Amino acid sequence: MKPTLFVLAAGMGSRYGGLKQLDGLGPNGETIMDYSIFDAIRGGFGKLVFVIRKSFENDFRDKIISRYENHIPVEVVFQELDNLPAGFTAPKEREKPWGTNHAVLMGKDVIHEPFAVINADDFYGRDSFAALGKQLSAMNGKQNDYCMIGYRVGNTLSESGSVARGVCETNAGGYLTGVVERTAIERINGQIQFTDENGQIVVLDDNTPVSMNMWGFTPDYFNYSEDFFINFLKENMSNLKSEYFIPSMVNELITKGTAKVKVLDTTSKWFGVTYANDRQGVVDKIKALVDAGEYPDRLF
């Protein structure tokens, strides 16, 4: 059974002011997402699932899904504020979505095989999809045995400013022991560094693995997520800004010893438009990959 690619795209409408400006960065107007899906197909994925908001469904089907339909089966699920477990009602004042792991939960009824989770607007690179596709194909029928792509931090920096990254700690076997969100990571005088909660400067080796929200799970992950979400809601319902994130769920599972997460190394360079100034750099990097023969001039 081929793995599924689950694309978190519910934030797209708000970030891009509708989908009209979905940014074409490739030589023929390709979006970053087009490259992810092209890489996933050649990395052995067999189905696409998008989680979006109902309000831009028509636009999304028309402008986005129509590109992929003849290449791979596609399904759409919806993340809305009122998609909550029985007995819970979203506060009227709440505007913020419930977070990335709530978005993942929306795939429960349509995903029954090992699956990858990615952000819609991050460029992950060919090697990362190949590594993840291979690992997920070997996870058929397994439980409690997950994986993630650990990018080398030096391959994820922005030239326009500092970045926030989930810095990973691993054990001798290459399994994740924790992810700590670190902010203001940047290269200063040749060294990658950030300031920790005690005001100490911490230097990171270029190859330190960081999470760019590229995960691999088996369907049992949905059951844990549902149970954990109920506890999250009991504790955070009145906090209108609280969000239920994937790393919180993963940390919970590995801390309790319920599941393990293999950190897969990749040579891929991650890039995205963190700052407006990053846009031209992304265009140039994609062009360089096309010129080098990594991608065809036209993807679909």
- As a dihedral over the C-alpha atoms of residue 287, residue 289, residue 295, residue 300, rounded to 10 degrees, the angle is -30
- 125 touches 270 (CB < 8 A): yes
Exposed / middle / buried, residue 153 (Cβ in 10 Å: 0-12, 13-18, 19+)? buried
Q: How high is the pLDDT of residue 13?
A: 63
Shortest CA distance to 71 belongs to which of 114, 117, 40, 109? 40
The three-class DSSP label of residue 261 is strand
- State which residues of the chain have pLDDT below 50: none
- 218 touches 116 (CB < 8 A): no
pTM: 0.93
Q: How high is the pLDDT of residue 15?
A: 63
- 62 touches 88 (CB < 8 A): no
CA dist 161 → 52, 212, 272 (Å):
29, 17, 13
Residues 193-240 have pLDDT tens digits of 999 999 999 999 999 999 999 999 999 999 999 999 999 999 999 899
What tokens does 176 get?
């994740």
User: ∠ CA 168-248-226 to the nearest 5 degrees?
Assistant: 140
Alpha carbon distance 143, 241 (integer Å): 32
Q: How high is the pLDDT of residue 59?
A: 86
Q: Which residues contact 148 (CB under 8 A, 6 or more apart)?
A: 168, 176, 211, 214, 215, 216, 250, 261, 262, 263, 264
- 39 touches 125 (CB < 8 A): yes
Work out the widest C-alpha separation in the chain, in whole angstroms: 55
Write out the DSSP string of 34-85.
Answer: HHHHHHHHHTT--EEEEEE-GGGHHHHIIIIIHHHTTTS-EEEEE--TT---
Q: How high is the pLDDT of residue 277?
A: 85
- For the chain, domains (ranges, CATH) are 4-150+211-291 (3.90.550.10)
Alpha carbon distance 168, 145 (integer Å): 17
Which DSSP symbol is given to 161?
A: B
